[in-house]
Every structure is written in C-alpha cells, then in structure tokens.
Amino acid sequence: MNIAEKRQSPAFYVLIIVLIIMSIGPILLMLTTSLKLNVEIMSDTSSLLFMPTFDNYETVLCNVLWYEPDHVDYCDPSFARSLGNSLFIGLVSTLITLVIGCMAAYSLVRFRFMGRGTVSLTTLMMRMVPPAVLLVPVFGIWTFQYGLDGTYTGIILVYVAMNLPFVIWILQSFIVQVPIQLEEAAKMDGANPLQIFFLVVLPVIKPGLAAAAIFTFRVAWNEFLLANALLNRDTRTVPVTIVNSLTEYDIDWGVIMATGMLLAVPPIIFTFVASKQIITGMTAGAVKG
Amino acid sequence: MNSLNLNRFTPYMFLAPAGIVLTIALLYPIGYMVYASFLNWNPSQLISEAEWVGLRNYTNLLADAAFIESFFVTLKFAFCVVILEMLVGVGLALLLDRNIRGMSVLRTIFILPMMIAPIVVGLMWRYMYHPTVGVFNRTLKDWGFEAIPWLSDSTWSLISIIIADVWQWTPFIFILSLAALQSLPKSVLEAARIDGASAWQQVVSIKIPLMMPVLIVTLLLRLIDAFKVLEVILVMTNGGPGLSTEILALRISRTASEFRELGVAAAMSNLLLILLLVLTLGMFLYNKIVETKKAKLRAAVEEG
C-alpha cells in the first residue's frame, strides 16, 4: 500500500501544482496587468519580463496621495472616494450586524422560546433570497417611504438585514457550546444579563464572531446591484465605480485592474489570516444542515 | 421584583433589534414586492399612483419570448455549472484525500476565488477572454490555432461564463466534500481494505454512498447560489450577445432600470423566488428525512 502510494507521488504533486496555478493564475494576471503601462498591455508580444510600475495605482489614488504624480493630467477623485465609502459602509454594517446578531442568537439559545428548527429554516429561506429580488422593493421603499436613497444609512440597513439571518444562525451554533455553568457562576456573583452577555459570553465565542464578521464584511464590500440602485455619486462603493467605468470599447485596463486589485486585497488578506474560520462558516451550512 | 421583571423581558429585549431590522428591511420589502407585481408601475411614480392590473404582468411574462428565453438560459447555466462543479469538486476531493503536509495552505489558496468580489472575477475573466490582449487568444495564436470569439459569439459566451463560474465555485464543492470524506468512520474503510476492496470499489460502494447526505445538501446549496449569480455575467457580457447569457437576475435588473417597468420586474422576482423556495424546501425536507432515518436507526441499535 505504501509503495503504491509512493509511486503515484510525482503525478499527484503535478496535479496539485496545476490546481494551484489554475486557482491563483487569474489573480496573478490581474496583479501583473495592474503593474503594467497600457502600452505594454496592448503590445503584441506578451512578456513576463517587464518593469513594474505603480502608475496605475497612482492614477487611482491620485487625490489622497501626499505628492502629485507627474503622469496624471486629470485627477479623477471618484476611485479614492468610493474606496473610502466601501470601507466605511463595510465596517459599520459589520459592526452593527454582529452586535444585533449576537444578542438575537444569545436569546434564541438561552431562553429557547423558538425551536432551532424554525431558526434554521428561516435562515435557509433568507439565504435563498437573491439580491436581484430585493432590487425593486428596496428601491421603491427606500426612495419613496424611508427617504434613505443615496445615504449611508440606507445601504447599511440593507446589508445588515441581508446578513443577519446567516450571522444569527452561525453564532447560535457557537453559543450552544458555551457552558451554562459559566453564566450561572457570573449570576451568583451578581452580574446582570447584559454584563453576563458582554463580559462572559462574548469572549468565549470569538472564533464564531470572526467567521461572522468576515462573511458580513465580504457581502457589504463586494455587493454591486443594490449599491448601484441606492447610492449616488458621492456615496458610491467601489464595485459600482468599476462597473460605471467599463465601456464597450477602449477600456483602460491598467487602471481598472489596479482598482480591482485594491478591491480584492482585503478579502485576500482575510483569507490568509482566517482561512480556518472561513471554512468553518462555509461548511457549517452544509455539514450541519 | 425589579430583577424578575427584567428577566422576563430580557429575551425580547435581546431579540428586538434583530426583529425590527429584519421586519423593516427584509420582510416588508418582500411583501411589498408581491404587491407591486400586480401593478403597472414606473420609477417616477409613487406606488399609490400606480395602476392595479391584476395578473396582467404575469400573463404577459409567460407570453414574452425574451423572458422565456432568459428563463431557459438561467436553467441551462445553473444545471451546467452545478453538474460540472460537482464532478470536478468531488473527483478532486477523492484524489486529494490523503494526509499530506500543506493541505491547509492548499485549502486557503482554493478559497481565494470565492472570497474575491464577483465584479473583480468578471473583470479578470473579461480581460482573459479579450479578443486581442486576452491570454487565451494570445496562447491560441502562439500555438497556431484560430482565435476563439469567447464573448462575442452566442454559443461561446455561455460556455465562457460557465467556465468562469466553475473556476470560482468548484473549490466550494471540493472543500465541503473533503470535509465529508475526512469525517467518514475509519473502521468501515479499514474493513473494506481488509476484505480486499480495490481503491475504485472503495470509492463507488463505500465513500460515495456515505457522503451522499452531504453531497445532496451541497448540490442544492450550490444550485440555489447558481440562480443568484449576476455580477460576474454583468461585467463579462452584460447578457449579450443577444440574449444568450441573460440570466433571470440580470433580466430583472434590466427590466427595472432600463425598461423602467417595476411591476414586471417584481413579477419576475416573484417567479424566481418561488422557484428558489421550492428548491430550499426540498433541501429542508431532505435534511429532515435523513435525520429521522438516523434517529430511527439509533433507536433500533439501542433497543437491540
């Protein structure tokens, strides 16, 4: 058995290398393109050897740089501004979702007045609702009834609502594992429910919080359709800016790829820092039902 | 007295914020959409000014050739990607299910495509499919083949978006089925090996049947998600050429923003939602059946 396995080894490692190249190849291609000048991108000879340049990134970030890049004739502030918007919207909606979701999950587990079955069915139902389905009602209600079109509040409200079911559900599975004795001990010492929740339960479920935070931030950071319908020029997020700068012909690939790279960097960092939590969050849906 | 009161209201206090947000930003909009699907409503009107047209939006849709086509494009896309991803993902999981060092690094690399914004994924693939500067056509030309009209031909464009989706989501299936494989009872596999089952026999008659519950849930999850894909296709082809890649989600968004027919878009959303509801309920029922079966089995074992 051992011998047989060893004999397969070379083919096995070749397969692994091919898979790695396939999965990160496109991302590396985007990175190298963003470091090239348009002359090089358009030239007929594609070469792996080129002088990396940060020109494209300077064009994207021109109005927040502390110096003025020479090659930028006209500084378009929309990219840098949308980057700031994306960051703000992502962080605030993640924070709110976590606080609200945590409280709800905690009360669902500890005070059990609704079955776990009901909660997981609701979560599944909410998971299935595509953003495209929310487009018409959210546009109508936010514009005509709430008066929240174009505001940060409006889009944050949408993202919080979209993420809550998943967050409640995943946190629930972590809170179930917190020993009740821990909370009873705190109660004996005279802690009120809020203190127990914030000082005893929250620190124990940190890994669950990390997974929930990453998934929430990812949705808010990557979402396009609803952001496109609700936000205006000043509050636009990066995905909307990217799509708006795509035209049928004559695309400035270097600059677009630099923007795309900037949009891709935070998720890539999360992936390398917390891949374990991400996989937990991903598999929880299928393996535990 | 005070603390008793507090205790009685605590659960509701903790649940209230989530309940309020979900009601005003999710349940109410969905109900609103159902109502709007019976109206002839354009974006410049208040909803109260819109005319009630009953089921006309729905009957018009069912007679609308473009809608029917985009419905079938959606089905074709969803079934193709799910079948391909299941085959490749489960196959890879079976091949790579060994104790090798660096498996966690490998998994980390594999989840990258899923974490990156769909907009960016579409961008990368649009660049790679580019007729002149794209890497595919360049390579084809270097090797002396004809260039392929990846995104400008109606047959190829569907294939192209399927390839992009397979690239992005196969790792999802791979990771789930690897997790399922590694949680299989070791004793069963050991017994099979001792009985002289070949590697292929082990896969077909032990591993796959034991993984089946997880595989079916994975398949349904992926199928539901496949109906939600939008951004990648929007960036790559914007539904074209013609209607060849116009999936339902894209058609809804275009009906709302370009044709300015919110009532029709709402009716379409409703149909999509019903389709997904059926799939989701199917998954939930399947889970329930498997669980009761397991419980019965356990009870039988305990009794005997």
Q: Is residue B242 part of a domain?
A: yes
B chain contacts of residue A115, beta-carbon cutoff 8 Å: none
CATH of the domain at B212: 1.10.3720.10
∠ at Cα B241 (B145, A131), nearest 5°?
120
Residue B39 sits at φ, ψ, to 5 deg, of: -115, 155
Answer yes or no: do A264 and B116 touch at CB < 8 A: yes
Q: Is residue B20 part of a domain?
A: no
- Full set of structural domains in chain A with CATH: 2-60 (no CATH), 78-287 (1.10.3720.10)
Q: Is residue B145 part of a domain?
A: yes
Is A225 at the interface with chain B, CB within 8 A? yes
| B128-180 confidence digits (pLDDT tens) | 888 877 788 888 888 878 777 878 788 888 888 899 999 988 888 888 888 88
- Cβ atoms of residues A267 and A72 within 8 Å: no
Answer yes or no: do A282 and B276 touch at CB < 8 A: no
- For residue B49, the 8-state DSSP code is G
Q: Which residues of chain A have pLDDT under 70?
A: 1-8, 43-49, 66, 68-73, 112-117, 119-120, 124, 248-250, 284-289
User: Which of A48, A50, A128 should one mutate to test binding to chain B, selecting the residue with the greatest count of B CBs within 10 A?
Assistant: A128
Domain that holds residue B210: 63-274
Q: Is B52 helix (H, G, I), strand (E, B) or coil?
A: strand
Out of A29, A103, A165, the one facing B124 most closely (by C-beta) is: A29
Separation of alpha carbons B193 and B196, rounded Å:
5
Q: Is residue B281 part of a domain?
A: no
Residue B4 has pLDDT above 60, yes or no: no
Is A32 at the interface with chain B, CB within 8 A? no
Answer yes or no: do A243 and B119 touch at CB < 8 A: yes
| B227-264 confidence digits (pLDDT tens) | 888 888 888 888 778 778 888 888 888 888 777 788 88
The alpha-carbon gap from B85 to the nearest alpha carbon of chain A, in Å, equals 14
Q: What is the DSSP string of chain A?
A: -HHHHHHHHHHHHHHHHHHHHHHHHHHHHHHHHHTS-HHHHHSSS--S------HHHHHHTTTTSSS--TT-SS--THHHHHHHHHHHHHHHHHHHHHHHHHHHHHHHHHS--S-HHHHHHHHHHHHH--HHHHHHHHHHIIIIIS--TTSHHHHHHHHHHHHHHHHHHHHHHHHTTS-HHHHHHHHHTT--HHHIIIIIIHHHTHHHHHHHHHHHHHHHHH--HHHHHH--TTT--HHHHHHHT--SS---HHHHHHHHHHHHHHHHHHHHHSHHHHHHHHHHHHH--
Is A284 at the interface with chain B, CB within 8 A? no
**Mean pLDDT for chain B overall:** 82
The alpha-carbon gap from B209 to the nearest alpha carbon of chain A, in Å, equals 15
Residue B115 has pLDDT above 80, yes or no: yes
Share of chain B above pLDDT 90, in %: 4
The interface predicted TM-score of the complex, written ipTM, equals 0.83
Q: Is residue B33 part of a domain?
A: no
Question: Which pLDDT value is given to residue B63?
Answer: 84
Q: Is B19 helix (H, G, I), strand (E, B) or coil?
A: helix
Residue B304 has pLDDT above 70, yes or no: no
Question: Which pLDDT value is given to residue A94?
Answer: 92
Question: Which pLDDT value is given to residue B116?
Answer: 87
Residue B111 has pLDDT above 80, yes or no: yes
Which pLDDT band holds residue B87 (cuts at 50, 70, 90)? very high
Number of domains in chain B: 1
